[in-house]
Structure 1
Amino acid sequence: MWLAILALTAYLSDVWGHGRVLQPVSRASAWRVGHQTAPDYDDDGVNCGGLYYQWSINEGKCGICGDAFDLPEPRPHELGGVFGSGEIVGYYLPGEEITVTVELTTSHLGFWQFKLCPDPRDNDQKCFDRYPLQLENGDTVYYPKKGSTKYTLNYRLPQGVVCDHCVLQWRYTAGNNWGTCKNGTAGLGCGNQEQFGACSDISIGLATGNSIDEDLSNGYSDIPSPLLTYLKHGYFDNQQGLLQLLRDSVLRQWPQKTRQNSKYTRRKKRGKKTKPRKRKKTNFYRGNRM
């Protein structure tokens, strides 16, 4: 009886458990907003192969973008895969607060996280685990409680991370399956749960649509080398006035007009002022009076 219920729960989970990332749009959903990428018509069902397959066949492992772990690399939603064209869908500044939109077509309770990897060819989860994104309250885990709808949230990009091509990872762990809890009891949300994944291609630099090297060479060729080094390593963010700093640096390169010293503009050094002596008035006709 219990085995039948668990099997039915797993089946319904695979059929109904769905979610997608719409901003910055994921590789699976980019075609929905006009990008010339391969369409994934099941873009809200990238679930690590399904509950049973993930936990019984792949021992709980999942591809970094939600594909079944045992698929040959690059997996369909990874860079170089069927849906992994690598087209950049968002340009940001280091440490910027970005808006993220997630759509749950069917809510499964649970929670999700966003993480970042600055190397698009790194398929190791450890790269993403080093750069979790934080919500406005400082948390990295979000629990959706509004059911099947669109969730728009603000996340903070990691400070000091600059990359022409970064990968933003979304991992949603459902919580609607019945299982064994850590304390030995049984309950909803305990034990193995279905997971969903997505990857979005973004750039963190000067937010102009060019690569960092292009931005720094087109119009900013006169930037002093120490500043150039800081920019490439992401030591400035938008709150520190990065763009203003660049403008000021470029303007300082233009020659300033200076006044030439001349006899008309140069002030002569004067000594101590002395009061001139009054001349004594004399009457030249006094002695000639009759």
Structure 2
Amino acid sequence: MSRSGFVTFVGRPNVGKSTLTNALVGEKVAITSDKPQTTRRAIRGILNRPAGQLVIVDTPGLHKPRTLLGQRLNDLVESVLGDVDVIGFCVPATEKVGPGDRRIARSLSGYPRAKKVAIVTKTDAATREQITDRLIEVDALREDWAAVIPLSALTREQLDVLTDELLELMPEGPALYPEDVVTDESLEDRIAEIIREAALEGVRDELPHSIAVTIDDIAERETGSMTDIYANLVVERDSQKAIIIGHKGSRLRDVGARARAQIEPLVGTKVFLKLHVRVAKEWQRDPKQLGRLGF
């Protein structure tokens, strides 16, 4: 008897949802960063086990939106939550449960179809006392948790416990994706996300939300030994463009080198990566620009 279905992890931004998704899938399908709202799309990672298949939908963190982009990210999360079989509510072991956590936990009542699991993340960075406190706090948030599980995506501790529990909660049915598929993301989308992750590394706080990436072209050369990729890093202001490029182009070269190192294993050849930085004024607030950038 096989089970299969959809699970999504919710929580405040930066509680470890994308790291958990990647750890469960066993391959990097969602980019991670210590900047909140790194995830901007519903990315599906697929986990196959003898007992069945889990389709993990990684979504942006729920937050109070300050821009049209922020509102659209929240709307995306809402639509995903209405469709999944299980919702995993994540709270880091290292931080006390706060008003944002309580608000999200309460909001889960709006999705009666989904079973709810509470997950205390980042146990590798917490003391035993912190983990115990967090489990007690989280358990008290709702009466309908199907399970409360502490784990570390980094050390993989208790990941199997979570996987078994999630599969047990899924409806009976055949696999939804072929067994050799780890994500339904297109190659172009995965490359754009890798470049954005590289650009987020080390930038100052005002930049993360202002960066978008578009791909103009991906073309393998006739020899088959090199892939040419032309991409744009889109920011909102000239001052941000200067930050991304860096002194005499040094920052942009670093971004290119970091991104290339991750893209090459993905495409299976050496990569020539040409990055162009362009300014689209206030794109996060402009419906037309958002549409062009895929939001």
TM bin, normalised by shorter chain, reads under 0.3
- In terms of fraction of residues, the more helix-rich structure is 2
Q: TM-score, normalised by structure 1?
A: 0.22
**Largest Rg, 1 or 2:** 1
